[in-house]
Structure 1
Amino acid sequence: MFAGFILMMLNSYWEIYMITLILMFLSSLISISSNFFNLSLECFFYFNSVSSLMMFLTIFLVIVSYLSTLKNKNSNYMVSIFILMLVLIFTFMTKNLVFFYIFFEISLIPTLYLIISWGYQPERLQAGNYMMIYTVFASLPLLIIILFYSIKNFSSDIYMLSIMGFFISNPMIISLMMLAFLVKLPMYGFHLWLPKAHVEAPLAGSMLLAGILLKLGGYGLFLMMNTFKFNNIYYFYFVIGLSIWGAVLSTFMCMQQNDLKAMVAYSSVAHMGMLVSCVLLDSSWGLCSLKLIMISHGFISPGMFLMAMLTYKMSNSRSLSYSKGLLSVSPILCLFWFLFCFCNMAAPPSLNFLGEMMFIPIIMNISPFNYFVIGLLMFMSVMFSMYMYTSVNHGVFSNFIKPFFELKSNDILSIILHLITFLLVFKLNFFIY
């Protein structure tokens, strides 16, 4: 009965829903900028600089994803997005490690429901199965290890576990603890579920999956590094090497894609490879680079999925072979494509550029050979971003594109809100302190 009342309210009074989200968005801004707010709630919730930024990004992306799909006022659709937002907020706020694992896994249910109910192709069931099998089975060892240390400490509180200072040097245990988060990111080698999920998911599902759900892996690694003491630095160097080379291979795979959404999905794998290195190096510069890359990717990647959807509406296809000559049809959409590709290739003054510049000195301390690897990674990032832009906007005008399609005001507003990342360059104190 209560659930039916909520459905009726969200279906009839969606303005109340939007006002609630905006108020939560403003409260998340206060939690970022106010230390007093964090200290007052520290007894009940776990706050740090990364979790505050993730809560801000979660509420922001839910608002923008709803604006992008304003015509779809289906009550189940709205409730699914709202429940997913609440679960993600609780995941970033909880101070209990067992509850963190529970919310971490519950976030899969609304995502799976969005993919199965509002996906585009019959293969959406296969995509949902891939996502569930990869993420659930990879996280089961993590639950066993968390329960073991919680029983040993008589508490699963994050502060208590960090005070106890459990030293873990066994590479097998470290691998099992990290596996759930490496699959969620995903790191190259565990990434096969991501392109399938992105291609089959609806617009809001792709935006939230790229903007927030992938960041759960980075936040989980950050939380494990702060809670437990991993003292096997050589094993970390091995994982960092795999992640960096995997990011390079992902950029090459981007050049081979013909599906626009699959290309954006593989670009996320490339960015998440750098994220793994930022977390595992465990330095102040690594933490700043982690926050910059996570926030920048959280703004740009969902925006690129929105641009892919608008391009699909004009050509009725996500194939790069059909979506050509967009410049002659919609110059404003071409301008937005340029700005998003500009940020995606980490050109100054974007946040991605600052994050990668802070990432370079710490990765160079491992080996001088990394000069070649990082240089190749950055070069290929520029290459596939330019290839994506030129493939969609330039070339011979395609007969499949509908010139009469016009951008709606809510679409333009959503795109402009994603480009707020340029303004965040003037508030770097959010990321440095």
Structure 2
Amino acid sequence: YGIIRISPMLNPISMKLYYPFILLAMWGIIMTSSICLRQTDLKSLIAYSSVSHMGLVIAAALIQTPWSLAGSMTLMIAHGLTSSVLFCLANTNYERMHSRTMLLARGLQLILPLMTTWWLLANLMNMALPPTINLAGELLIIVSMFNWSTTTIIMTGAGTLLTALYSLHVFLTTQRNKLSTNTSNIHPSQTREHLLMMLHLLPMLLLLMKPGLIMGPFT
């Protein structure tokens, strides 16, 4: 948000100075997404996922076109809610399994089937599947980056593919594997936990009705 506010003040002398930072942000998307595929700690994976998405936001904010600025605002808010719900879900796992390692906290679909539904929805939103507001933000950014330079589609495409891979990896590892041996005395999910997940995901669904609320004055 600071970049969006400050960058117009530095124009037009600063545009050429942005090129290394845009390249660094694009490369950071691929690198942090690749790190996510190697993570075993669930909370570290979610944190690196946020860094990857913010690389996309920074690159879009620096090229300063109306679509890129609208996309960066949208993705910032959408991913803020998405990463928050993923951290909440990771904490519900930790409270029951007392481990953040995905291989030790696996197969939870058999014990907590309703929480698996929340995991699925959160991961689909992290992957920016339609009709989520994340998709609107990422599409605006990718299209504006492509209009700015056609070669950026390679890096944004690779980042999108890696995001889908690690999101599916998280879901399948934590929910669909064989049940871990240290799963004795696991208490069921509570109403407050489901309410918390709903309060994260409901605003994202409502924003689909009027996305202009979070796109700022750029559209």
| TM-score bracket for this pair, using the shorter chain length | over 0.9
Q: Is this contact kept in 1: 2:133–2:211, CA < 8 A? A: no
Task: Please give the TM-score of this superposition, normalised by the length of structure 1.
Answer: 0.48
Give the structure 2 partner of residue 250 of structure 1.
32
- Per-residue deviation, 1:374: 1.3
Deviations 1:361-418 (A, max 9, x none): 2111333222211111110010000001001001111122245412222211111000
Question: Hey, what's the Cα distance between the residues in 2 that align with 1:281 and 1:252?
Answer: 25
Which amino acid letter does the alignment assign opposite residue 335 of structure 1? T
Residue of structure 2 in register with 1:188 after alignment:
none
**CA–CA distance in structure 1, aligned partners of residues 52 and 139 of structure 2:** 16
Give the Å deviation of 1:423.
1.7
What do you get for the CA RMSD once the two structures are aligned? 1.4
User: Residue 183 of structure 2: which of 381, 387, 401 is its match?
Assistant: 401
Shift of 1:236: 1.2
1:315 to 97, 107, 114: 97
Q: Deviations over 1:170-216 (max 9, x none)?
A: xxxxxxxxxxxxxxxxxxxxxxxxxxxxxxxxxxxxxxxxxxxxxxx
Aligned pairs for 1:25-104 within 5 A: none
User: Using the alignment, how far apart are the partners of 1:265 and 1:424 within structure 2?
Assistant: 24
**Hey, what does 2:62 align to over in structure 1?**
280
Q: Decide whether aligned partners of structure 1 residues 402 and 417 sit closer, same or farther in structure 2, where only a CA change above 3 A counts.
A: farther
- Determine the structure 1 residue equivalent to 2:145: 363
Stretches of structure 1 that go unaligned for 5 or more consecutive residues are: 1-218
1:224 aligns with 2:12: no
The amino acid across from 1:411 in the alignment is E
How many Å separate the matches in 2 of 1:355 and 1:344? 12
Measure the CA separation in 2 of the matches of 1:401 and 1:422.
34
**1:6-405 alignment to 2 at 5 Å?**
219-402=1-184, 404-405=186-187
Larger Rg: 1
CA distance in 1, matches of 2:195, 2:184: 22
Equivalent AA in structure 1 for residue 155 of structure 2 = V
CA distance in 2, matches of 1:221, 1:402: 49
1:402/1:419 CA distance change after superposition, 3 Å: farther
Normalising by structure 2, what TM-score?
Answer: 0.93
The answer to whether the 8 Å contact 1:329/1:403 transfers is no
Work out whether residues 307 and 337 of structure 1, in 8 Å CA contact, stay in contact via their aligned partners in 2: yes
- Alignment pair present for 1:425 and 2:179: no
Deviations 1:20-77 (A, max 9, x none): xxxxxxxxxxxxxxxxxxxxxxxxxxxxxxxxxxxxxxxxxxxxxxxxxxxxxxxxxx
Q: Write the distance in 1 (CA, Å) between the matches of 2:40 and 2:59.
A: 29
Q: What is the identity percentage for the equivalent residue pairs of Structure 1 and Structure 2? A: 27
Assess if the C-alpha contact under 8 Å between 1:314 and 1:402 holds in 2.
no
Query: What residue ranges of structure 2 are gaps of 5+ in the alignment?
Result: none
Q: Secondary structure at the match of 1:426?
A: coil
